[in-house]
Amino acid sequence: MLAERITGLLPPLTPNEALEVTAIHSIAGTLSPKVPLMTVPTLIAPHHSASMASLIGGGVGMARPGAISLAHRGVLFLDEACEFGGSQLEALRTAVEEGEIRIARRDGVARYPARFQLVLATNPCPCAPIRDVDCKCSPYERRRYFSRLSGPLLDRIDIRTRMRPIHAMDNADLGPPESSATVRERVTKARVRAAERWAEHGWQTNAEVPGPALRRHFRLPAKAMRLLDRGLETGFVSARGADRCLRIAWTLADLAEKDRPDGDDVGAALEFRDRRAA
Ligand SMILES: [Zn+2]
């Protein structure tokens, strides 16, 4: 449900993005006659039994865009992510890193954009009981199941959280739920802040800012950087992970309407990467 809500929280596509997304769906033959121009981000949720061609792109004759390109500028949601094949997840990692996918054909290479928000959901083990205590898997089975999500792919997942079973009483003190529209307003504001800050450098979102620029030109207060250094020294985060933490910290600061992230934001970003949550 959370994954399905995310597209509703994202701002509408810019005219250029709308054209890109529409062109991809037009080539794939998935453009609805009722919506000739796609102006809002889409959610694409392929099943783990999907073929490589339908997930990544390909097929007979002209290489057609797959789910990862149909999700361009939107959300790609993989439920039961551990059930996907190793080569599929590997191709996915490449797309996440490069923002596009290249499909080799006999007479050339087809390139499609694939820049999406990736959401993965997985059970902690193959037997997937409602209560953790009912699990019948051995520690080896649990480890093996989870290791299907390779380290390099997991390293590119910025926010990890463990969902606990919902108990009736949990909702009692949360107050009325926020509507998607209210949250969307907050997201839009944060996006505008980021876009204004990076405009002179040609970036729009925190996700686009290269690591070296974050580390050298937009340094954070010493206290915040020390937290990150300690994470690197203890092996809690990789070098790539540290850059990704910085981007999350900037996003948290944008949501809180701060000029730049402080130690709390970096601390929260590190907590989101906690491997124990995974
Ligand atoms: Zn189990």
- 156 or 196, higher pLDDT: 196
**Kind of pairing, strands 75-78 and 117-120?**
parallel
Q: Count up the domains in the chain and report the number.
A: 2
Q: Is the pLDDT of residue 87 over 60?
A: yes
pLDDT at 278: 44
The pTM for the full model equals 0.89
Domain that holds residue 10: 2-157
Residues of the chain with pLDDT > 90, as a percent, come to 56
For residues 28 and 107, state if they share a domain: yes
Q: How far does residue 168's CA lie from ligand 1's centre (Å)?
A: 24
Q: Ligand 1 centre from 277 Cα, in Å?
A: 16
Q: Which residues line ion ligand 1, judged by CB < 5 Å?
A: 125, 127, 135, 137
Average pLDDT value for the chain = 89
For the cut 50, the answer to whether the pLDDT of residue 259 exceeds it is: yes
CATH label of the domain that carries residue 131: 3.40.50.300
CA of 47 to the centre of ligand 1 (A): 22
Could you tell me the pLDDT band of residue 168, with boundaries at 50, 70 and 90? low
Report yes or no on 173 lying in a domain: no
Secondary structure of the chain as H, E, C letters: CHHHHHHHHCCCCCHHHHHHHHHHHHHHCCCCCCCCCCCCCCEECCCCCCCHHHHHEECCCCCEECHHHHCCCCEEEECCHHHCCHHHHHHHHHHHHHCEEEEEECCEEEEEECCCEEEECCCCCCCCCCCHHHCCCCHHHHHHHHCCCCHHHHCCCCCCCCCCCCCHHHHCCCCCCCCHHHHHHHHHHHHHHHHHHHHHHCCCCHHHCCHHHHHHHCCCCHHHHHHHHHHHHCCCCCHHHHHHHHHHHHHHHHHCCCCCCCHHHHHHHHHHCCHHHC
Q: Which residues, at least 6 apart from 175, have a Cβ–Cβ distance to it below 8 Å?
A: none
* CA pair distance 204, 233, nearest whole angstrom: 31
Residues 153 and 185 in one domain: no
82 CA distance to ligand 1 middle (Å): 13
Same domain as 89, residue 197 = no
Q: What is the pLDDT of residue 62?
A: 83
Average pLDDT for 246-261: 95
Residues 124 and 40 in one domain: yes
Per-residue pLDDT tens digits for 104-148? 888 889 999 999 999 999 888 888 888 878 889 998 998 888 888
Q: Are residues 19 and 133 in the same domain?
A: yes
Cα of 129 vs centre of ligand 1, distance in Å, is 6
pLDDT reported for residue 247: 95
Q: What is the mean pLDDT of residues 249-262?
A: 95
Higher pLDDT, 187 or 107: 187
CA–centroid distance, 119 to ligand 1, in Å, is 22
Task: Tell me the CA–centroid distance for residue 238 and ligand 1, in Å.
Answer: 29
Q: Measured in angstroms, how far is the CA atom of residue 133 from the centroid of ligand 1?
A: 9
Q: What is the pLDDT of residue 106?
A: 83
Note whether 72 and 152 are same-domain residues: yes
Q: Are residues 190 and 148 in the same domain?
A: no
* Nearest-angstrom CA–CA distance, 84 and 78: 8
Within-domain flag for 49? yes
Across the range 224-252, mean pLDDT stands at 91
Task: Measure 165 CA to ligand 1 centroid, in angstroms.
Answer: 15
Question: What spacing in Å lies between the alpha carbon of 231 and ligand 1's midpoint?
Answer: 31
State the distance from the centre of ligand 1 to the C-alpha of 137, rounded, in angstroms.
Answer: 4
Q: Report CA(108)–ligand 1 centroid distance (Å).
A: 46
CA 117–ligand 1 middle distance (angstroms):
29
